[in-house]
C-alpha cells in the first residue's frame, strides 16, 4: 500500500471531531493540537489548519527556527503545489467527511489532496507560529534548504518525480468537485497548461493576483 493510500485508509476509519497527520520521527510541541482546535472550532466550513515548523537534525539540534513563507495558502497555489506540510495539518470533521465521500485514486500525496479540497470548498488556516520540530534527514534535507542551489536541486527532483501525476490528480478532482465557477476555470486552465510548466506557472501566478 502506498503512503497516501495508508493515510486515506486511516481517515476512512476515523470518527473523531478532528484528525491530525503525524510522522513518527517528528516532535510535536505540547500546545500543537490545542492551538489548532481553537482555530478550527471557530470555522463553520470544512477547514484545514497547518502551522510553521522548526527544522531539526537527527540529534534534535535546531537547524532553523522558522520557515519563511513567501506564498500564502490559496486554491491557485494548491493546484500546482502543496505548501501545507502533512505533519503540521489538523482537519475538522466537516472536511474529513468530504474526503471520506471520495477517496482518490490519483492523489499525488494525501496532504496535497486534503489541502486542495479544503482550499476549493472551505477554509485553509496557516499559522506562522511553529508547533512542531520537523526532522531533516537524507530523504528530505534538500527540500528544506534555504540555499539557492538546494532549492534548485529540490525543484528539479520534485518536477521529475511528479511528472504526469499532477494532471491525473487534477482531472480526478475536477470530475468529482465542481460548482465554484471561478475556481473551476482556474483548474481547467492549469489542466490545459499541464504539459507546459512555464505556462502553468504563469497561469497560477496570474490567478493568485485576482
pLDDT one-digit tens code per residue, 31-90 = 999 999 999 999 999 999 999 999 999 999 999 887 676 678 999 999 999 999 999 999
CA gap 90, 146 in Å, rounded:
26
CA gap 25, 115 in Å, rounded:
22
Query: 6-36 pLDDT, tens per residue?
Result: 999 999 999 999 999 988 889 999 999 999 9
CA gap 178, 168 in Å, rounded:
16
Residue 137's pLDDT band (cuts 50, 70, 90): confident
CA gap 110, 84 in Å, rounded:
11
Residue 172's pLDDT band (cuts 50, 70, 90): very high
Residue predicted with more confidence, 194 or 63: 63
- DSSP element (H, E) containing 181: helix 181-192
- In the chain the first and final C-alpha atoms are separated, in Å, by 40
Residue 163's pLDDT band (cuts 50, 70, 90): low
Distance of CA 178 to the CA centre of its chain: 20
Amino acid at each position: 500500500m502506498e503512503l497516501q493510500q495508508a493515510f486515506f485508509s486511516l481517515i476512512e476509519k476515523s470518527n473523531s471531531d478532528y484528525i491530525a497527520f503525524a510522522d513518527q520521527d517528528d516532535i510535536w510541541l505540547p500546545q500543537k493540537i490545542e492551538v489548532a482546535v481553537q482555530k478550527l472550532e471557530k470555522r463553520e466550513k470544512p477547514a484545514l489548519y497547518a502551522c510553521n515548523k522548526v527544522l531539526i537534525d537527527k540529534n534534535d539540534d535546531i537547524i532553523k527556527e522558522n520557515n519563511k513563507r513567501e506564498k500564502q495558502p490559496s486554491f491557485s497555489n494548491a493546484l500546482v503545489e502543496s505548501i501545507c506540510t502533512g505533519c503540521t495539518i489538523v482537519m475538522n470533521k466537516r472536511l474529513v467527511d468530504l474526503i471520506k465521500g471520495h477517496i482518490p485514486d490519483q492523489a499525488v500525496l494525501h496532504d496535497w489532496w486534503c489541502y486542495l479540497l479544503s482550499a476549493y470548498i472551505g477554509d485553509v488556516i496557516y499559522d506562522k507560529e511553529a508547533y512542531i520540530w520537523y526532522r531533516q534527514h537524507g530523504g528530505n534535507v534538500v527540500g528544506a534548504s534555504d540555499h539557492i542551489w538546494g532549492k534548485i536541486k529540490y525543484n528539479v527532483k520534485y518536477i521529475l518525480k511528479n511528472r504526469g501525476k499532477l494532471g491525473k490528480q487534477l482531472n480526478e478532482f475536477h470530475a468529482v468537485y465542481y460548482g465554484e465557477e471561478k475556481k473551476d476555470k482556474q483548474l481547467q486552465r492549469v489542466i490545459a497548461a499541464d504539459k507546459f510548466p512555464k505556462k502553468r506557472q504563469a497561469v497560477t501566478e496570474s490567478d493568485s493576483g485576482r
